[in-house]
Structure 1
Amino acid sequence: MMCFRQVTLSLILLLLGQATPSRLQSLGATKLRLVGPGSRPEEGRLEVLHNGQWGTVCDDNFALQEATVACRQLGFESALTWAHSAKYGQGEGPIWLDNVRCVGTESSLDQCSSNGWGISDCSHSEDIGVVCHPQRQRGYVSERVSNALGPQGRRLEEVRLKPILASAKRRNPVTEGAVEVKYEGQWRQVCDQGWTMNNSRVVCGMLGFPSQQPINSHYYRKVWNLKMKDPKSRLNSLTKKNSFWVHRVTCLGTEPHMASCQVQVSPARGKLRPACPGGMHAVVSCVPGPRFRPQKAKPPRRKDSWAQQEPKVRLRSGAQVGEGRIEVLMHHQWGTVCDHRWDLISASVVCRQLGFGSAREALFGAQLGQGLGPIHLSEVRCRGYERTLSDCRALEGSQNGCQHENDAAVRCNVPSMGFQNQVRLAGGRRPEEGVVEVQVEVNGIRRWGAVCSDHWGLTEAMVACRQLGLGFASHAIKDTWYWQGTPGAGEVVLSGVRCSGTELALQQCQRHGPVHCSHGAGRFSAGVSCTDSAPDLVMNAQLVQETAYLEDRPLSQLYCAHEENCLSKSADLMDWPYGYRRLLRFSSQIYNLGRADFRPKTGRHSWIWHQCHMHYHSIEVFTHYDLLTVNGSKVAEGHKASFCLEDTNCPTGLQRRYACANFGEQGVTVGCWDTYRHDIDCQWVDITDVGPGDYIFQVVVNPKFEVAESDFSNNMMQCRCKYDGHRVWLHNCHTGDSYRANAELSLEQEQRLRNNLI
């Protein structure tokens, strides 16, 4: 059986019975794909798209340099070899190219010389195949679903469900209705002849829903018959005009898009088929994922994986809902997935597992940032019906030389909730910033207004930017006097807004009942500045564990640290300079895992000079160091003012951008570390007043959320701490997201996990 691995396909080609391509990449004027019985995406019969039709390439004079050009155009680094005499099977249609001759430096195959399009004396027994090096080019474009081609090359633009029941017409998201496709700017219906639950699954996946459920076909047939009998019915008139552009759809249920199914469509005008004889419009009912269900909604009828248990897969560093770098939980540790053989089918399994629809894009080459820790999986091969990624075949990530620069990511289809139409920005210098204005319903009337900036912070701004579809918030602004809001929307309609950060819209956050704002709209309205990328700081837990020790430091050496409040309050009562303080010291290394540099909130003009240590403070408190009881009560604390945010270490080939010397710029570059050695002042917790016992040692980076990050769940690091009055041991150090996606494990659970790893 022929094995095909690409899901972007023309509906017309499907009518002609053409195969699904393996990889499609358009770097030059032509489009190429690999097709054939091989199981790997980097090899197959070479096919070219020309004049809207796929054809093959003759093997005459074809050699390694031609294969290299083709492989680079397909997104691979180079070619390993080529295969003549239709090794990957004989193709169909025209033989577009013959006697191809390339120098080897061309960016696309159509830049090489040949006999010309369609000029060939070959047969399909001479179809050329290529074998590419599996390593992809840096910056390789994602595999994505493109719009399907309809008759005469016109595009199938969108798919939607049109509600039939009056009670469902104002619901968001729309989960049930007649399937319609947008073609040439008009919505057209799909005939239900041969319609299956597999078809419904594909449509639901495209609309952002993980699964489908049966409909009451008897009821909808009655509604259809009543409307067809009514001569004034719009449905009747549309049917007579042949609104059924799609006559029959046949899907396996694993396709990420209807374009990959077998679809019969109306041919060119003047040759229309009868309009769905004996049938009616196809009706689909979808099951939304947990994040998109109304709070009072009933649980789904079937036991889907996302309804049964906490997912062991998560998305990180994505700017929008349903996108991010893929991380999986294995052996009690989160790790990434290598992009070797990563495709839309496997990506769709991840999306559905998380409660989204099918995958819109499968991203390669760490396009949404590199992870840390292990690479758990590689060569993932899903068939499409698996409930979880762990059900798919895969290799261990360490088996084929994967690096974090190969981390796979995904963009999932998500339901349209209508939230983006209920918020807007006004007065900004660019579209990504301005006064936040929201639409609310008051006494049955919807109106626009401002948001009170009381308690407005970065968490709320993050929700606003996500709702706007603009990614992350870089700043939460309380004083917006320099931005002019929309005339007529100056009244405050939301106040007391407090968000947890997971909401899809500001309207889902907690807020005052009656509006109560300490000031009116205008100068002090809430504002935001949004960005599509953000930094992400994470502590090196292992280094903390390895470097911890006790020091009894004389007071005579602590004047400077005391001046900067790095000691416990009891130090104020001591007879300076006599005596000492007992310090728990350690080294810390903070890594910027994100996709943007970490910069101080304010510019140099706001930095504070500290004469004692001869340095500038760019952030008031950069980290919190705390010693807690097992019950969570604080018994000792410290803090680290960011007197020197800089690139202490960067990987080979990455230039350091930030250095504190000579009043230099401060920050941490993407991929670099800011290291504080154990012998630096304030790199400690003062435990002079702490008795022996078992404790929790905790470090929190960016504790006040002063600087935006793509992920705050990994900003906290905890260790188990044992102190006997003379010595100290730190063990089981881990960041807050090490074991579970949404919550911290109890200490007892952590210890059991630790014992299982030993």
Structure 2
Amino acid sequence: LAVVCKICLMCLIDVQIRLTGSGSTQCSGRVEMYHSDTWGTVCDDSWDLNDANVVCRELGCGTALSAPHSAHFGQGTGQIWLDDVACSGSEGSLTECQHGRFGTHNCGHGEDAGVVCGQIRLTGSGSTRCSGRVEIYYNNTWGTVCDDSWDLNDANVVCRELGCGTALDAPQSAHFGEGTGQIWLDDVACSGSERSLTQCQHRGFGTHNCRHSEDAGVNYVQLRLTGSGSTRCSGRVEMYHNDTWGTVCDDSWDLNDAKVVCRELGCGTALDAPQSAHFGEGTGQIWLDDVACSGSERSLTECQHGGFGTHNCRHSEDAGVVCSGEKTFYYYLDFADSTDAQS
């Protein structure tokens, strides 16, 4: 009953959100909410980055760069819907955060709250969705990131932010070509655990001593399972690197290595680590040899190996995996079929 009531209340509230005001864009502006058939503003009392992050996420605008106070984007009119908003930052909507009741406040429109959200993309020559020159959208303009101190920790934050898994490397010196216009960040120093590049230490937006010949990039290695008799969760292990799919040699290939592949692909645990091209021989590149995983790594590229493209193998030694994910799925189907037959 409590769940039903909660759902009903949410339906009755029916709140929409938008960013508007002077100098606003799709991802920056004065925060306004639509409630009771009326657009109204949010008061800036206790307004901070946690609150702004919820708004940015709700609007699909990435991560908050700042949480302006004092009607930074101009004063709204009419209703002030929320005051004393206190988000943890993990909420799915601003209405899920702690706040006073709708319409209860002690504010004037000179205290209207705003947000500036930041978006990130990978672009440039030879770029893919998960590799390319790093660019950030700020102040209505796309700009690049300087490679001073740029490393794997920084690249891993970018990959995580874009849903691209683990970074292979952090190319410098405009590896994906030189950008144009603004250089937004320099001396980026991420620990690697941040949710967004803008949460890492840096010199400040637009403060740098760089040229576009120093534009930073990221590279990500993709994995797939393929070959004869393969399924989504079993097959010959192949990696996409340098714009080319290639295989992995079975020298020292074992269950620990297979565990990492299965985890990386969301396929459960490893049941077997077939060798000798069990799923058929691949063609072209052999990317990895002498892979030695402990089994706890997040990505196959984090395991010890001989270096990309360095091997003494043939495709008759291509490595494979059999993961539990697909097998468990088939067991579930068999169980369901037998239950239906009995009924």
State TM-score, norm by structure 1.
0.23
* Structure with greater proportional helix content: 2
Q: Highest CA radius of gyration, 1 or 2?
A: 1
Higher relative CO (Cα under 8 Å, sequence separation at least 6) belongs to 2
